[in-house]
Structure 1
């Protein structure tokens, strides 16, 4: 069994907007949502900027008990799942719950709540021996990452396969890839899938400070994220989430569903080389791209847009530029490329799903979002990175890629089904 898999619902929460429409408005206008950190005093830290989302649990429809029980990342996931199901038009209550599954991705899961609770238990770090009398009754929910997909499963009534995928910064691609495989093999008919991360906490900021991966452009937060630009000096940390409803193509067609796109190919590889280092030739990412293209039966010349990982570190930008050339050949030079991290920052495990959403919306509107803040490209980055301003362009097929600590390299091919609707 090898069924076609399509996306019929999208829910997004990202910096600069409160839903999918505002998210696309931001991207298509080339505006940036990176600002000085407001969640805590960032003055002691090397990097003091981030992409913070406008998110009010009460206005999002969460109860006081849900807000207390769920970490911020889980709240994002649940809200996006509700939005995606509503967008899909599916009556999940009329479906066999054992045929509905959930696959979510996250890099740092409940880091926000874990740090908060540690500060309470240790009296803000003053006590080496923590006082268990102050332990939250919801500590288990914060400690175990699988609670997040379980929350989404309860929300949508899914009793089929439920999983958490945590592969660092490729988690948001890999979770969706896993969901596609479950539908293709017949283990599920509907998958609610995507990723969520809310890593803007002192401990996470300090971790990236230690390895000097994040930008120090603190006086210019709106322009701090500048992938492929010769003056870039690190990525901008962010939070966000994107969740999708995936269905088997024929089922979606029969019910007249609106289809954003088909997930035609996916592959992931690991370089088995270094926790944070990347080889200059881009071989592992190139292999993932070639495999995804082969699975989708897509020729390199058919790619209309490449949604790059584009983190804004010299190592990554040069690595994936080499991977595009290695896998696509001369076609790489003629294909528009851009990085939305220039506008919404890098939400770690969530960004792969956020970028899938951007890719689907690019197909929906036939517009390639720009790479903001790109004014003078690194000489080693010599492709068409669509600088500053969005470009009207027919987009029928998109290649979106991700690169993560641990050596993970993932690629996905999205395409418009014939006619645009199932």
Structure 2
């Protein structure tokens, strides 16, 4: 461990709720990851027959079975439904008595990159008569159309579930939003602005407009004949990422508060930092400097060094540019240790759910620490020679670890890094 400035107050993850492709709930999610199963398939949420990429990782999600009322289902876009269900599950998992916490001391921080895309697009299609009318008649809009246009309604719906009257925010920083939302929540707890934070991210982007956007820049995989094997991070034969959906919501408390109520601590969040490359909307510099800076800054806050990191949960999107960029960042920030620590990408199994994936990967990292198991990188059969680290191909691995690094990279040049420690190590 490094010495120097005092480390910031550790924050504990005391509850989790997950909606992910191939496995609803924390248990199903973890079973999918450790089995190395992939949840990618042909798109069923809309007719994708005319698209370049016709595959995605969809959630087997029935809002009625998840306890949502008909009114809630009509009011909320699929993304808000994900967030609300995860919030209810996380609060139940935490064992926290919210009635004992003043509502103004409860906050919410939710991330999303594209907001209520599905309902917003559906409403526009109706209002414009299938795109034929330039001037739309608002009389044909449903009462909740405005809610679909404003992503902050996702955070508002989440706040309604937990009665949060403290700081409530929607963080939209592209594909790092899930990490950044949790990082924002950690800082609010550390500065004393809240005593409990409900934090995470949700995304339901599998819609024609989102798919068309990624088709246009050829970012998603065209391997439609092999949906299960299409997401291949760090593999020489990869052809882009596979779009996904889902959510993860965490209950966060200061570690001392969690210990006072004898709460289960999945993991401690001990460091977070973000950087931007101020370079290009979709392009990345090959040296990985900005991600490396975020990793170093997070390590400085946690007062740890490269040798303390036992596992890296990579961004691992499956694009050649990104995989090589973060491989360079690991080498730049960790030095020789980068060749010794196992690295894996869960996107190989559950796809890339844009703004939600960072929080889903935090959940995976916390479970890896608790269970002392590293999830694999599925579909990694022929490693890219330029990605020459230990990417844990195909099968999960038992592995002793005290600290996990989880990173994210997003359009706009956003780079974020979070460090989690095994519960009870600080």
1:376 maps to which of 377, 382, 407? 382
The residue aligned with 1:412 is 418
The residue aligned with 2:65 is 59
- Which whole-Å deviations, capped at 9, do the CAs of 1:99-126 have from their partners, x for residues lacking one? 1000000000101110010111112222
How much has 1:275 moved relative to structure 2?
Answer: 0.2
How much has 1:395 moved relative to structure 2?
Answer: 2.3
Q: Which runs of 5+ in 1 are unaligned?
A: none
Written as runs of structure 1 = structure 2, the 5 A alignment for 1:8-407 is 8-407=14-413
- Which whole-Å deviations, capped at 9, do the CAs of 1:248-269 have from their partners, x for residues lacking one? 1111101110000110000000
Alpha-carbon separation, structure 2, partners of 1:78 and 1:301: 39
- Which whole-Å deviations, capped at 9, do the CAs of 1:134-180 have from their partners, x for residues lacking one? 11100111111111111111110111000010000000000000000
Alpha-carbon separation, structure 2, partners of 1:2 and 1:154: 30
Q: Report the secondary structure of 1:330's partner residue.
A: helix
Q: Report the secondary structure of 1:159's partner residue.
A: coil
RMSD: 1.0
> What's the TM-score, normalizing by structure 1?
0.98
Q: Which runs of 5+ in 2 are unaligned?
A: 1-6
How much has 1:129 moved relative to structure 2?
Answer: 2.4
Q: What is the aligned length?
A: 420
Conserved 8 A contact 2:178-2:355: yes
Conserved 8 A contact 2:127-2:141: yes
Alpha-carbon separation, structure 1, partners of 2:103 and 2:384: 51
Alpha-carbon separation, structure 2, partners of 1:36 and 1:291: 40
Conserved 8 A contact 2:370-2:423: no
Q: Which moved more, 1:309-318 or 1:40-49?
A: 40-49
Q: Report the secondary structure of 1:329's partner residue.
A: helix
How much has 1:2 moved relative to structure 2?
Answer: 4.5
